[in-house]
Each structure stands twice: as structure tokens, then as C-alpha cells.
Amino acid sequence: MARTRRLGALAVLGTMTVFTIAALSTPAGAVVSGPCTGSAAFSNGVTITAEQPLDPATVIPDADNVLYQGSIDISPPDDPIPFEGGISAEIAGVGSFPVATWGGTTEEVSASGSYIYEVPSWVPRGTGDILLTGNHAQGGAECIGQVKVSLDGDPGTAAIVSLTGTVLFGAGVAGAGVKKKGVA
């Protein structure tokens, strides 16, 4: 019985270690599907495009005024047609959150401008694993693009708290598998 508990504790601890390493690993780059092109230029000199290779990870500032441009490869309509889209951020182990949405009607098939963002302080810096997904639908065409990014900076307090919690939980699980004196 005690051997089974110890093996179970080691299995849980091993799984937690693998997930921790995976969460702290550096992610890949961009993936785009559909008849769209676009780019986003950041103040640190980084530009994300659909042609970007999958590696290395894209490091972006945690706050910026990003310049964007995008187009969809459809014939310009004579009358306004509906369009919609958005961007969401998925943080491993935390969840998915909307970043921006858009919609309405237009005769345009391209757009450009700037977007000011500031990432909340609770999102770890320098650890990667943030999946940004953008989508745009217009005139019967749909595009989806994804890029994994890492925020510029050190992991900071969030990573220390996470690592400490993992170690303490792992020690508790390992301790649960140790035979206690006087306990049957």
C-alpha cells in the first residue's frame, strides 16, 4: 500500500515537473490560414508578418502602440458588406481572454492604423506561452492567424510564486506517500 502511494506521488510530481517545464519553455511563431495578409510593427523594432518562420519566439513589449495593416483578398464590393473579427490571448494554465474585436459594414478590403495596449501586471514576463489568435471574416472569406509571443522582461514574482507553489505541492504529494509511524 505504501509503495503504491509513493509511486503515485512520484507520478504526480513527475507530471507536475513536465508541465512546469513546458509552461516555461519558449514558444514558436506565426501561422496564418485564409486569403489575408497583414503585419504588426512594435516599438522595439519587431514586426510580425504572415511570412514569419515558426522559430524563434517573438518577443514583444508588455505595453506599446503597435502599428498594424491588413488586407483580405476579395474583390472590393460596390456596396458595404458586413465584416467582423477579433483577437484573443490564451495564457497557458490561466485561460483565454479577448484583446480586441471589430465589426460593421464596409466597402474596403484593407485597413491600417495603430492600437495601444498594456498587458496586465499579473501576466508573467519573459516566460512565453501566450498564444494570440486573430480572425477576420468578410465577403464570404475567413482568415485565422496565430502567433505565440513572449513578453519582454523577467518572469518576476509570478514565476517565483508558481515555482514555490509547485515545489510545496510536490513535497506534500511526496510526503503523502511516505509511511507514518504508528499508522496502519
The pTM (predicted TM-score) of the whole model is 0.66
User: Which domains are delineated in the chain?
Assistant: 25-152 (2.60.40.3880)
Q: Are 152 and 62 in contact (CB under 8 A)?
A: yes
For the chain, give the mean pLDDT.
76
- Give the pLDDT confidence score for residue 162 in this predicted structure: 59
The pLDDT of residue 70 is above 60: yes
Q: Which residues, 6+ apart, have CB-to-CB distance to 129 below 8 Å?
A: 23, 24, 25, 27, 91, 92, 148, 150
- Give the pLDDT confidence score for residue 7 in this predicted structure: 37
Ramachandran sector of residue 44 (left: φ over 0; alpha: ψ -120 to 50; beta: rest):
alpha
CA angle, residues 20, 131, 140, in degrees to nearest 5: 150
pLDDT digits (tens, 9 = 90+) for 132-144: 899 999 999 999 9
